[in-house]
């Protein structure tokens, strides 16, 4: 990992930040709108920290393809994981609402740790337009066990698994922007009116599955923890609103971990 981080610091980060200026306008706009009270110097510091983390994401994702089980368990640890395991076993499955925080590709290791308990991790993904990179990401994600399910085929696969003896844990990256026609849930998020996907909530109600939020922290470079927080179906807040509030709290705790280069606020709310 030290070699990978060397290339991250001295090749990938300078290339993306100084030479290519990868999505710099999007990053700057997102950070300024999310943190209007920050000074320009604070904006610049956060921007640089994000690009350094993004460079680490690239090399850590590649490194994750060949990492040993022992090292992965050292670098990616779970808090309250037994609650998720018991939910899968006792309620026939569960949904974990994730986000583009840290090296999110390492989250695909959960199912591998609990294969003996009959838990199948299903990583729900959106197909990439570039076929080469789509196949590459599928290969990396599948390496840690589990199953990759394209979002348009998810409902059919959930029906199939409900009839099986397997206990599926569906991992869903729920912080992606919905298309204008699917922007059903709006809330204030990082000082902006923001639309959220509500597919996880809809499916949890349809199949009677509990939902969890994966709260990500990075205690030091190349190490992450995920605290699995149950989302309450009987709360005054909807599952999607609870997710938005926890995600916002997670980002504010370590803002450089989030994917600021994503055009999250591309579509304004339609009047």
Q: How far is CA 131 from the centre of its chain?
A: 22
Contacts 24+ apart (CB under 8 A), 45-50: 46/255, 46/256, 47/260, 48/17, 49/255, 49/256, 50/255, 50/256, 50/258, 50/260, 50/261
pLDDT value at residue 137? 75
- pLDDT score at 147: 87
Q: Is residue 11 part of a domain?
A: no
Residue 33 covered by a domain = no
Does the residue 220 lie in any domain?
yes
Question: Does 242 score more than 90 pLDDT?
Answer: yes
Kindly list the distances between the CA atom of residue 95 and the CA atoms of 85, 99, 158, 187, 225, in Å, as whole numbers in the listed order: 11, 13, 11, 22, 18
**Confidence band for 110, pLDDT divided at 50, 70 and 90:** confident
d(C-alpha 123, C-alpha 141), whole Å: 8
pLDDT the model gives residue 180: 84
DSSP-derived 3-state class of residue 172? strand
Q: How many CB atoms lie within 10 A of CB 21?
A: 12
Residue 133 pLDDT > 80: no
What is the Cα–Cα distance from 141 to 49, expressed in whole angstroms?
26
Q: Is residue 151 part of a domain?
A: yes
- Examine residue 240 and state whether it is found in any structural domain, yes or no: yes
Domain housing 129: 77-257
Q: Which pLDDT does position 271 carry in this prediction?
A: 64
Among 93-107, 132-146, 197-211, 216-230, name the one with the lowest average pLDDT: 132-146
For the cut 70, the answer to whether the pLDDT of residue 213 exceeds it is yes
- Quick check: is 126 in a domain? yes
Average pLDDT over residues 118-145: 81
Q: How far apart (Å, rounded) are the C-alpha atoms in residues 104 and 52?
A: 15
Q: Residue 182 above 90 pLDDT?
A: no
Q: Assess whether pLDDT exceeds 90 at residue 204.
A: yes
Indicate whether 249 belongs to any domain.
yes
Q: Which residue has the tokens 């640089």?
A: 48
Spatial contact of 153 and 105, defined as CB atoms under 8 Å apart: no
Domain count, the chain: 1
Q: How far apart are CA 27 and CA 217, in angstroms?
A: 21
Indicate whether 1 belongs to any domain.
Answer: no
């Amino acid at each position: 990992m030290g070699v990978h981080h060397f290339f991250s610091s001295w090749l990938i980060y300078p290339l993306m930040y100084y030479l290519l200026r990868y999505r710099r306008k999007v990053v700057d706009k997102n950070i300024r709108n999310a943190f209007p009270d920050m000074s320009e110097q604070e904006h610049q510091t956060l921007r640089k920290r994000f690009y350094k983390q993004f460079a680490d994401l690239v090399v850590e994702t590649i490194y994750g393809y060949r990492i040993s089980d022992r090292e992965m368990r050292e670098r990616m640890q779970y808090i309250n994981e037994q609650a998720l395991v018991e939910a899968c076993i006792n309620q026939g499955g569960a949904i974990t609402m994730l986000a583009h925080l840290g090296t999110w590709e390492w989250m695909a290791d959960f199912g591998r740790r609990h294969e003996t308990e009959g838990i199948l991790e299903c990583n729900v993904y959106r197909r990439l337009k570039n076929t080469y990179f789509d196949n590459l990401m599928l290969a990396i994600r599948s390496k840690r066990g589990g199953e990759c399910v394209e979002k348009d085929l998810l409902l059919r696969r959930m029906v199939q698994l409900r009839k099986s003896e397997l206990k599926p844990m569906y991992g869903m990256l729920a912080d992606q922007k919905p298309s204008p026609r699917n922007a059903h849930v709006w809330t204030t998020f990082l000082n902006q009116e923001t639309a959220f996907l509500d597919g996880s909530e809809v499916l949890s109600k349809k199949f009677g599955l509990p939902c969890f939020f994966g709260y990500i922290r990075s205690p030091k470079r190349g190490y992450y923890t995920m605290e699995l927080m149950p989302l309450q179906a009987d709360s005054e807040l909807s599952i999607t609103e609870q997710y938005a509030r926890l995600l916002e709290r997670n980002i504010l705790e370590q803002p450089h971990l989030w994917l600021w280069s994503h055009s999250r606020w591309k579509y304004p709310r339609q009047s």
